[in-house]
Chains A and B, each alone.
Chain A
Amino acid sequence: MVNGLLSIVFYEVIMSTIDTKTVKHVAFLVRLGISDEEAQTFSGQFSSIIDYFNMLNEVDTENVPPASDIANAENVLREDVVKPSMSREEFLKNAPQSERGYVKVPTVLGNE
């Protein structure tokens, strides 16, 4: 009982404040480098935006299905036929670094 009550209180608290640690965590999730100063600024802004979003809690959505598509589209199928596409040379025009017909990036897997 006490536990349940505490968890409700805890939930409410984290709903309305997003601390810098959380900001840094989501920044890493979206692979965004972030400075301490930026994390501080975003933390304040996020809390007020998320507070505003919490307005949705007023709406009764019991038995309401989530929207999944808006064009009412059905599965679209087609024959799997080979067609000409962009050449490798053309594709690589925009690559920052390339070598022997491949996009070049630093080590992806650990090399230890």
Chain B
Amino acid sequence: MQPTNLTIQEIHQLLITKQLSSVELTQATLQRIRDIDPKIKSYVTVSEELAIEQARQADERIAKGENVTPLTGIPFSMKDCISTRDVRTTCSSKILENYVPQYNATVTNKLADSGAVLVGKTNMDEFGMGSSCENSALFNTHNPWDLERVPGGSSGGAAASMSASLCSFSIGEDTGGSVRMPAGFTNVTGIKPTYGRVSRYGLIALASSFDCIGPMTRDAYDCATVLEHIAGHDPHDSTTYNSPVPNYTASINKSVKGMKLGIPKEYFVAGMEAGVESAMQEAIRTYEKLGMEIHEVSLPHTKYGLPVYYLLLFAEASANLARMDGTRFGLSVSDGAKDVIDIYLKTRHEGFGDEVKRRIMLGAYALSAGYYDAYYLKAQKVRTLLRRDFETAFSKVDILLAPTCPTTAFKLGEKISDPLEMYLSDIYVVATNPAGVPALALPAGFSNDMPVGMQLIGKHLDEQTLFQVAYAYQQVTDWHKQFPNL
């Protein structure tokens, strides 16, 4: 098997037994990017020199046997909204196209400390606003399983780079499904951790009360490994939890027998593609065979998840993106500007794409005098009800199962002209973010030769159970071991 298809766990064994070096693996990854990525277009920037240097240092650590972690020497890619010192960080926006951060995100530092090797930054919907990667202001990314289809979004480049074996793990970011939805479209495992489990310092904010950085990997074991290394308290982000990060991998193989699996009835309604529905039924039967108890549960406010999420996201984004003003960093359009407001108007007009413009305007509208109570405050109240739905469900069951999307990956261009239609593709993944609960996406089969994703949703801070239940499934299925023909 080619080394770029291996799991982190498998590569680690080869590295520490000196059957493979990090430099060899990194060079193989960079070569594959040169060969394959021109048709996928998952990377915005490939940091070749840095990667080779980090790989060399990783090999030294391994040779000396000092400070070797499970991630030492492993090549990874990262969504282009996470700051990397001296490596361009664009958010796939014209306004940050030439922006080079002067500092690292906490996640970037943690991965560097663990010895992981950054090979590049991946494409996304501009500032994370989208579900297909088509809102990237730079270029479209293609689904490795069918180049005419989208990889999902907004972490579409991250998912595609993982799926096409152009890295050994990837770091995505999930504000309202942006890790799970593309993971489902591309046959990748990925987690949105509990809000506050991973530091947001250095993550270019979309909606600060929803944003969660999370790993995308070949399987649940790798996902647990990466989360162990990036999670934890950070003095630079006061919303991070102080509680210690569990050793997720240590008990990942515990039996799931007797655990209670909840099936939210509101998620299994008309409109789901037949192949997605049958894959979910098959997964439920698999869990039954593994000894889990299956219970139907109700999340009565599910259909309001989408309007709550989008309203609050628009409001938070309109405030967060105010910093892109053309005066301190990024694009600046000052030709003929008579005052500073003129610079703002011109820079933002030229620098933002249509979806960003729509969202920040609608956010300002929902927050403006006369509409604040009807929209913003109302959405925050319904958000409380969404949280209560999950609390009630988790008083009866340990974990929930649902699809990541009603369909498999759609065609490029299919939904881009209708913003509302595009928002509806997020229907199954958005409710978890306003509630803050963790959710893990994993491959669950194929429908018309395209991958089907399912997600497991857990209690606050109970990533452990998500990994355990996902791991149990991946011991008896091999969907996650299927690779696209490229």
Contact = CB atoms under 8 A, between A and B. Distances in A.
A57 B430 CA distance: 19
Interface string A4-30: 000000000001001000110011011
B378 A56 contact: yes
A50 to B, nearest CB: 8
A84 interface: no
Contact of B375 (A31, A42, A53, A71): A53
B307 A26 contact: no
Nearest to B436: A70
A3 interface: no
Contacts of B339: 106-108
Contacts of B338: 106-107
Contacts of B346: 33
B239 interface: yes
A1 interface: no
B195 to A, nearest CB: 5
Contacts of B436: 70-71
Interface string B347-368: 0111010000110111111101
Contacts of A18: 365
B342 interface: yes
Given A30-B360, A32-B357, A66-B384, A96 B368 contact: no
Contact of A61 (B235, B332, B349, B382): B382
B304 A30 contact: no
Nearest to B300: A59
A82 interface: no
Interface string A49-92: 11011011101010011111111010010100000001000110
Contacts of A50: 362, 365
Given A56-B308, A70-B436, A30 B361 contact: yes
A73 B344 CA distance: 35
Interface in B373-396: 374-375, 377-385, 387
Contact of A31 (B239, B332, B345, B385): B345
A65 B381 contact: yes
B307 A55 contact: yes
Contact of B382 (A56, A73, A106, A107): A56
Interface string B206-244: 000100000000000000000000000001001111000
A94 B100 contact: yes
Interface stretch (B141-149, B176-184, B321-329): B321-329
Contacts of B209: 69-70
B334 interface: yes
B126 to A, nearest CB: 14
A1 B440 CA distance: 55
Contact of A53 (B100, B310, B385): B310
Contacts of B365: 18, 22, 26, 46, 50
A52 B420 contact: yes
Interface string B418-432: 011001000000000
A9 to B, nearest CB: 16
B434 interface: yes
Contacts of A32: 345, 348-349, 352, 357, 360-361
Contacts of A105: 327, 340, 343
Given A94-B329, A105-B343, A106-B334, A30 B364 contact: yes
Contacts of A26: 361-362, 364-365, 368
A67 B434 CA distance: 9
Contacts of B195: 70-71
15 contacts: A30-B363, A32-B349, A46-B362, A46-B365, A50-B362, A56-B375, A59-B381, A65-B384, A67-B387, A71-B196, A71-B436, A94-B100, A103-B327, A105-B327, A108-B339
Interface of B: 99-100, 102-103, 195-196, 209, 235, 238-241, 301, 303-304, 307-308, 310-311, 318, 321-322, 325-330, 332, 334, 337-346, 348-350, 352, 357-358, 360-366, 368, 374-375, 377-385, 387, 419-420, 423, 434-436
Given A56-B307, A57-B378, 8 more contacts: A42-B361, A49-B362, A53-B307, A56-B304, A59-B378, A59-B382, A61-B378, A96-B328
Top 4 A-B pairs, shortest CB-CB distance: A33-B349, A66-B380, A96-B332, A94-B329
